[in-house]
């Protein structure tokens, strides 16, 4: 069941999984895991990751989402322009994010306000971001540079000015796989959780179960995952026992399904 982003975001104390998918096999694995657990889920598409063009992938994702009984949002992750946002909405995406986190606050607000105006015409939800989660988005590319932590006053101003449905924050995580210790700022998260908007965690790959639990208890309600999925897919391919492409891809799909299910169980509680 395809649903707007805002309708799959859970109450405090739980987090919905948002899985970046780069092919229909990935989406099938995630949806089978969600349906098996009877949990809502978000299929995210991040164009900068590569894979099929958004226009080619979207029809298949819509079909798959409508074929399961659990609520599914189809979300544009890290959109880079208003044109990309508009294209996603025309393709029936039910959630969009224009990542203005690297811009000055007022410009981030301006672009996000325009994103909200576009999305509301389609009934779609909007995610914004304040603060910078460093690192590239592929597996093994998590940078060691320090995050630009989210300023609570700026986040409050951003939310009040834009009315976004979800807010991504920077509290110590990094995109990609970690090369050093993770230093989560839970005190900052506690302060940010006073803003009346679901908080989103980017850079979630590689965290320990107790860290996930602390983040969810602190107010995180949407968790993005990609790097671990990509690494798991590569492992499945290297160790695959299939004699042909379809056999190998069946092994990849099963590995991704197991990983997605384990994270959904942990995050939903």
Catalytic residues: 77
* DSSP bridge partners of 126: 96
Q: What is the SS3 assignment for the chain? A: CECCHHHHCCCCCCCEEEEECCCHHHHHHHHHHHHHHCCCEEEEECHHHCCCCHHHHHHHHHHHHHCCCCCEEEEEEEECCHHHHHHHHHCCCCEEEECCCCCCHHHHHHHHHHHHHHHHHHCCEEEEEECECCCCCCCCCCCCCCCECCCHHHHHHHHHHHCCCEEEECCCCCCCCCCCCCCCCHHHHHHHCCCCCCEEECCCCCCCHHHHHHHHHCCEEEEEECHHHHHHHHHHHHCCCCCCHHHHHHHHHHHHHHHHHHHHHHHHC
Nearest 5 degrees, angle CA 128-CA 9-CA 220? 70
């Amino acid at each position: 069941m395809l649903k707007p982003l805002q309708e799959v975001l859970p109450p405090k104390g739980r987090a919905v999984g948002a899985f970046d998918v780069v092919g229909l096999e990935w989406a099938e694995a995630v949806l089978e895991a969600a349906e098996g657990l009877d949990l809502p889920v978000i299929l995210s598409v991040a164009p900068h990751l590569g894979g099929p063009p958004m226009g080619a992938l979207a029809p298949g994702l819509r079909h798959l989402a409508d074929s399961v009984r659990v609520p599914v949002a189809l979300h544009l992750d890290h959109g880079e322009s208003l044109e990309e946002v508009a294209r996603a909405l025309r393709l029936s995406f039910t959630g969009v994010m224009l990542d203005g986190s690297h811009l000055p606050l007022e410009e981030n607000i301006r672009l996000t306000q325009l994103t909200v105006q576009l999305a509301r015409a389609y009934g779609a939800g909007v995610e914004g971001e304040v603060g910078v989660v460093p690192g590239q988005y592929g597996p093994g590319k998590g940078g060691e540079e320090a995050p630009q932590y989210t300023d609570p006053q700026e986040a409050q101003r951003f939310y009040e000015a834009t009315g976004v449905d979800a807010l991504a924050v920077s509290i110590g995580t990094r995109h990609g796989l970690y090369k050093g210790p993770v230093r989560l700022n839970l005190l900052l998260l506690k302060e940010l959780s006073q803003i009346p908007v679901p908080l989103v965690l980017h850079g979630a790959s590689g965290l320990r179960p107790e860290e996930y639990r602390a983040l969810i208890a602190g107010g995180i309600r949407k968790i993005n995952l990609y790097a671990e999925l990509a690494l798991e897919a590569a492992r499945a391919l290297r160790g695959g026992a299939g004699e042909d492409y379809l056999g190998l891809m069946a092994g990849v799909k099963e590995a991704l399904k197991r990983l997605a299910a384990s994270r959904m169980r942990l995050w939903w509680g």
